[in-house]
Amino acid sequence: MRSRLSILFASLIWIASAQAVAQTNGLRLPKTIEAGTAFSIPSTGSGKAVLYIVGPGQVLRREVQLGEPAAFASGDLHNAGHYLIVLVGGSSTENGAFDVTAANQPAALSFIARPSRLPVDLHDGISGVAYVFDRFQNLVLQPTQVSFQLSGAAGVPQMRTVLTRHGVAWTKMDSASKEGAAQFEARVGNAEGKRVIQQVPGDPCRLRMNARASGQRMTLETEPVRDCAGNAVPDGTIVTFTETYTGGEATVDVPLKRGIARTEMPAYNGATLSVATGVVLGNEIHWGKGQ
């Protein structure tokens, strides 16, 4: 609030005291300049003046000779943005403005790929976002084509070409049906970004167990546990065996070892045995005489 007031008062004083100052707005300026390119600003009159190029992105101050163009070398003004140009001479102030746009040639990408690990066979499970920059780290706001590619050890690579909007392009890809690392790549011109996506087996698809007598006990063993695409579910995944018998229930949690879960439980005649892992329920066995 204080600075707003101070600007206002200062402006009033400045306006009141600068009756002799003419603001001709006579600066002949280009409407836009490409970031990092050389340019010059012509001036009229004679004598010395100070030229300011001011914006939040950059500020330049030059002492110039009126009547001669003020030359700026390539790279002098490299941050894209809106700039005010102020030429302050002995008895006059001229104002103007121009925009500095990002260089046409994309030079860098900021590529965000998520997630880094996901189950196989997931539709639109992988997302990629690419921001396109020029060599001065200006966001290239002109629509630009970005190519996305997801390729793994197996299967055909997925490819998409997306036009940027406000400097950003995004896409979604499916995870492959086979487990393993996939390379997710975004490319624009010579700039590229690469990320590795780990594709892991999904939930078990089918769970089956067998039971066999072993003295007073019985041995329960699953068939190799796989997801719906046939990938082996990782070792360590917990499989729960449950035995329900007259007057009680017993539960055993067993981690998968080499794709199989195995345990021993007391053999009660008439018991019902079930198996489950995660949200997947397997087959039931009714244990009776003769088994």
Partner 1 sequence: MKRARQAQIVRRLFLIGCSIFAAIFVLASDQPVVRIEPTDSVGPRTLEKQTETAVIRDYLKAWRGLSAALEQNSADLLDRDFVGTAREKLAGTVQDQAKLGIQARYLDDTHDIQLVFYSPEGLSIQLVDTVEYDMQLLDHEKIQTTQHVRARYVAVLTPTEVQWKVRMFQAESE
Which residues are near partner 1 by CB under 8 A?
A: 1, 3-5, 7-12, 14, 16, 31-32, 50, 52, 54-61, 79-82, 84, 86, 88, 93, 95, 97, 99, 101-102, 112, 114-115, 127, 129, 131, 137-139, 141, 165-168, 170, 172
**CB 258 within 8 Å of CB 280:** no
Q: C-beta of 62: minimal distance to partner 1 in Å? A: 10
Neighbouring CB atoms inside 10 A of 32's CB total 10
Q: C-beta of 207: minimal distance to partner 1 in Å? A: 33
Q: C-beta of 166: minimal distance to partner 1 in Å? A: 6
Name which of 7 and 73 has its Cβ closer to partner 1.
Answer: 7
CA separation, residue 180 to residues 171, 183, 200, 232 (Å)? 21, 10, 7, 12
Name which of 5 and 156 has its Cβ closer to partner 1.
Answer: 5
CA distance 45 to 41: 13
Name which of 198 and 291 has its Cβ closer to partner 1.
Answer: 198
Name which of 15 and 281 has its Cβ closer to partner 1.
Answer: 15
Name which of 91 and 269 has its Cβ closer to partner 1.
Answer: 91
Q: Which of 233, 236, 265 is nearest to 251 (CA)?
A: 265
Q: C-beta of 98: minimal distance to partner 1 in Å? A: 9
Residue 29 DSSP class: -
Q: C-beta of 95: minimal distance to partner 1 in Å? A: 6
